[in-house]
Amino acid sequence: MRELKLLCAADLHLDSRFEALPEETAKKRREGQRTLLFKIAELAERHGAQAILLSGDVFESGAVSADTQAAFIKAFGAVNMPVFVSPGNHDPYSSSSVWARMHLPENIYVFKSEKIECVGLDDLNLRIWGAGFENSFCRPVLENFNKPRKTDGVFDVMVLHGDVCAGKSDYNPITRRQLEDSGMDYVALGHIHTRSGLERAGETIFAYPGCTEGRGYDETGVKGAYLVTVSEAGVKAELLPLGGVRYEIITVDVSGGDVLEAVKAATVELSDNDYCRIILKGECEELPDATALRKALAGRFAELQLRDETVEKRDVWAQTGHDSLAGVFLAKLRREYDAAVSEEERRLVELAAHYGLAAIESGCEK
């Protein structure tokens, strides 16, 4: 059974400014972004891909440094396979764009307009369809697309930057019905920075691989590219992590007492190249010493944000029977607690006592 392997990536946003970071750190981040190009190329060759598909926003803007242009050309010009690019809203194609200015190797093909075109690869029994943004906004390019006539043994794959949505969008809105009617075996998408997994619209499979590297705490987790395998039996996708900078937001329950060990255990997978926001939760006999914790974790991450949301441990039943609203409320719940027949019931009643007491005390403060 014949199968086709594609390395699909999107939303690299090379030459991002990283304005929130110190200038030297931002420079290093941009250098790190460029290494992702070589990782994508290396993974494509290692896994036997027949083509690389880049679904837009390769660059953060039209102002692309000479170093980044050179890295793009060097990384993808060296691979023994075609590379297809669908320019996105951040890096649209125009006669003055970086795509037009770069002297691209023959194996790199950039879709230059919002009109879908087809590139046939007879040696691979493959047709690559695609279009590109011409401005920061783009009409729905699939709106009047005519489904191609299927050819036996030939796979139809499309590469697009766009927004799969049910409503309106300025960024090439795509409906599931349009995907279903496209006649494609697979559609490689870009624009949404969260990895989607494989989705189906009729007989068409599509996916967003997500961005290649997080740039903030709204882009958490492992990032990478998809190795997509298309065959007569269907479509499979495997995430290939690129090992770039990682952002994580981690909630750590420190009720057990040893705050540092709890944090270390929760962040064991992260490296000193990663950015970490730690939220401390739980009831503690003694509230955590945030200053000491930061000192103990110095150098552990590229950045550490620490939020202490712990509360001091208290006897929730202490006011039971007092001549107050809280006392009456707790007395009632205490009777329910004592009558409970299981640990789970007692846990829920005690939880209700905590929430109710907090609400009463909050009301009193107001």
List the domain boundaries for the chain. 3-241, 247-312, 325-365
Among 243, 185, 238, which residue's Cα sits nearest to residue 214? 243
Type of residue found at 258 = D
- Give residue 361's pLDDT: 84
- Give residue 254's pLDDT: 92
Q: Do domains 3-241 and 247-312 have the same CATH topology?
A: no
Close Cβ partners of 100 (under 8 Å, ≥ 6 residues apart):
93, 94
CATH topology for the 247-312 domain: Translation Initiation Factor IF3 (3.30.110)
Among 191, 95, 173, 188, which residue's Cα sits nearest to residue 134? 95
Q: Do residues 137 and 109 touch, judged by C-beta distance below 8 A? A: no
What is the architecture of the domain spanning 3-241? 4-Layer Sandwich (3.60)
pLDDT tens profile 298-310: 999 999 999 999 8
d(CA 13, CA 17): 10
Q: What length does the chain have?
A: 366
Q: Which of the residue ranges 52-66, 171-185, 247-261 would you say has the lowest mean pLDDT?
A: 247-261
Mean pLDDT, to the nearest integer, of 229-256? 96
- Give residue 186's pLDDT: 98
**Stretch (H or E) spanning 178:** helix 176-181
Mean pLDDT, to the nearest integer, of 260-281? 96
Band (81; pLDDT cuts 50, 70, 90): very high
pLDDT at 365 over 70: no
Strand partners, 306: 278
pLDDT tens profile 193-229: 999 999 999 999 999 999 999 999 999 999 999 999 9
- Give residue 364's pLDDT: 61
Question: Following DSSP, what letter does each residue of 2-19 receive, concatenated?
Answer: -EEEEEEE----BT---T
Q: Do residues 11 and 226 touch, judged by C-beta distance below 8 A? A: no
pLDDT at 366 over 70: no
Band (311; pLDDT cuts 50, 70, 90): confident
The dihedral through the CA atoms of 98, 101, 105, 107 has a sign that is positive
d(CA 292, CA 306): 12
Tokens representing 264 are 């270390």
d(CA 298, CA 293): 9
Q: 97 burial class (0-12, 13-18, 19+ CB within 10 angstroms)?
A: buried
Q: Which of the residue ranges 23-37, 42-56, 201-215, 283-297 would you say has the lowest mean pLDDT?
A: 283-297
Close Cβ partners of 274 (under 8 Å, ≥ 6 residues apart):
245, 246, 247, 248, 301, 302
d(CA 344, CA 346): 5
Q: 242 burial class (0-12, 13-18, 19+ CB within 10 angstroms)?
A: buried
